[in-house]
C-alpha cells in the first residue's frame, strides 16, 4: 500500500487521484508528523510499502516568523517519517523545493549542484532532505512554483485580483518553471513505477518570470489586464527568494521515460479544468 501523508493539501489531493493500486491518504487529523509517537503509531498500524510525504509548512513568508514550526514540520517531521519507514521496511518519498538553492548559478540546477538556501523555509526543507536520507530507501523530489485546483496559488491570486483591476505589477526578476500539481503527481507516479531512488528534479518544461506567467494567465483566459514589471526588492517580501531557480529535469526523463509537458500547455490544461 502507498501512504500519502498530507493528502488534503494542494499536491496531495491530485496525487491521490493519480496513484495506481492500493493507496491511502492521511492528513493532520490522523497524523502529526512533528510527533514521533503519532508517526510510529500510524505507520506501524498501516504498514505501507511506500510513504509519500507531501505534508509541509508551505507558507514561505510565514516560516520567517515561525522558525521553530518550520523546522519542526519541514525538517524534524521528515526525520520521524524516515526512521519509522526504515524500521518497517518502507520506502520514503520526500517532496522538496528549488528554494534549497541560492539562485545564483545562472543555468538550470542539477540534482548534485551545491545547495545554499536563502530563507528559513529553504533551510528547513534542506534539513528535511538530509533527514529523509536516514532511510536508505529514499527518493527526494525537488519541484517548484506549484499550482493546482485544490490550494491557494499564484494563478488563482492573479485571476482574483483581475476581477476588480485592469493593471497589476508583478516581479520580473525571478525565473522558474510554473508547475501544475497534476503533472508533478504523474512525475511522482513515474518515479515510483520505475523504482527510482536518490534525488530527482520534477517541474513543467521551459521557464519564465512571474511577470511572464501572469501575462500568460491573462492571455489564456482572454482577460485584458496590463501587467507592469517590478523587482523583487520593490516587492519586499519577508523571505528572500532565489532569483534563478529553474530545475534541470533531464534525469527524470532519462530514468522514467516521462517528461512533463511545457509550462504553458500545463497552464492551458489547468484553466480548461477550472472553467
Ligand X SMILES: NC(=O)c1ccc[n+]([C@@H]2O[C@H](COP(=O)([O-])OP(=O)(O)OC[C@H]3O[C@@H](n4cnc5c(N)ncnc54)[C@H](OP(=O)(O)O)[C@@H]3O)[C@@H](O)[C@H]2O)c1
Residue 109 designated active-site: no
Residue 100 DSSP label: G
Residues 114-143 touching ligand X, rule: CB under 6 A, are 125, 143
Are 202 and 143 a contacting pair, CB within 8 Å? yes
| Smallest separation, CB 13 to ligand X (Å) | 8
Q: Catalytic residue, from 121, 200, 244, 270: name it.
A: 121
Rounded distance, CA 252 to CA 263, Å?
16
Judged by CB under 6 A, which of 101, 109, 145, 270 binds ligand X?
145
| Smallest separation, CB 10 to ligand X (Å) | 4
Return the H-helix or E-strand segment holding 176: strand 175-176
Judged by CB under 6 A, which of 16, 48, 97, 267 binds ligand X?
97
Rounded distance, CA 81 to CA 86, Å?
8
Residues 9-28 touching ligand X, rule: CB under 6 A, are 9-12, 27-28
Rounded distance, CA 168 to CA 85, Å?
47
Rounded distance, CA 234 to CA 151, Å?
27
Nearer to ligand X, 113 or 165 (CB): 113
> What cell was used for 131?
533527514
Residue 1 interacting with ligand X (CB under 6 A): no
Are 134 and 82 a contacting pair, CB within 8 Å? yes
Instruction: Identify the bridge partners of residue 209 per DSSP, sorted by sequence position.
Output: 175
Instruction: Identify the bridge partners of residue 147 per DSSP, sorted by sequence position.
Output: 180
SS3 for 152? coil
Rounded distance, CA 33 to CA 110, Å?
29
Nearer to ligand X, 181 or 256 (CB): 181
| Smallest separation, CB 226 to ligand X (Å) | 26
| Smallest separation, CB 230 to ligand X (Å) | 20
Nearer to ligand X, 77 or 242 (CB): 77
Please name which of 18, 100, 86 lies closest in space to residue 56, comparing C-alpha atoms: 100
Q: Which residue is nearest to ligand X (CB)?
A: 9
| Smallest separation, CB 207 to ligand X (Å) | 15
Site string for ligand X, 48-87 (x = CB under 6 A): ------xxxxx--------------x---x----------
Residues that bind ligand X (CB under 6 A): 6, 8-12, 27-28, 31-34, 54-58, 73, 77, 95, 97, 125, 143-146, 151
Residues noted as catalytic? 121
Amino acid at each position: 500500500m502507498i501512504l500519502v501523508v498530507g493528502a488534503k493539501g494542494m499536491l496531495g489531493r491530485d496525487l491521490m487521484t493519480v496513484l495506481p493500486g492500493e493507496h491511502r491518504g492521511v492528513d493532520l487529523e490522523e497524523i502529526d508528523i512533528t510527533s514521533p509517537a503519532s508517526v510510529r503509531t500510524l505507520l506501524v498500524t498501516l504498514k505501507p510499502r511506500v510513504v509519500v510525504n507531501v505534508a509541509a509548512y508551505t507558507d514561505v513568508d510565514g516560516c520567517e516568523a515561525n522558525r521553530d514550526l518550520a523546522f519542526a514540520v519541514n525538517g524534524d517531521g521528515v526525520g520521524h517519517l524516515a526512521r519509522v519507514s526504515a524500521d518497517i521496511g518502507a520506502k520514503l518519498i520526500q517532496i522538496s523545493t528549488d528554494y534549497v538553492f541560492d539562485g545564483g548559478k545562472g543555468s538550470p540546477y542539477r540534482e548534485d549542484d551545491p545547495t545554499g538556501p536563502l530563507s528559513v523555509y529553504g533551510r528547513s526543507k534542506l534539513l528535511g532532505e538530509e533527514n529523509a536520507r536516514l532511510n536508505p530507501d529514499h527518493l527526494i523530489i525537488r519541484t517548484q512554483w506549484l499550482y493546482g485546483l485544490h490550494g491557494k496559488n499564484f494563478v488563482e491570486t492573479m485571476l482574483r485580483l483581475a476581477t476588480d483591476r485592469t493593471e497589476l505589477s508583478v516581479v520580473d526578476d525571478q525565473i522558474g518553471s510554473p508547475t501544475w500539481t497534476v503533472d508533478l503527481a504523474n512525475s511522482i507516479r513515474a518515479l515510483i513505477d520505475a523504482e527510482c531512488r536518490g534525488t530527482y528534479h520534477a517541474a513543467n518544461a521551459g521557464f519564465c518570470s512571474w511577470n511572464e506567467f501572469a501575462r500568460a494567465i491573462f492571455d489564456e483566459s482572454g482577460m485584458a489586464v496590463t501587467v507592469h514589471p517590478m523587482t523583487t526588492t520593490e516587492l519586499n517580501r519577508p523571505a528572500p527568494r532565489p532569483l534563478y531557480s529553474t530545475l534541470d529535469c533531464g534525469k527524470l526523463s532519462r530514468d522514467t521515460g516521462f517528461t512533463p509537458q511545457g509550462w504553458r500547455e500545463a497552464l492551458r490544461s489547468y484553466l480548461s479544468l477550472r472553467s
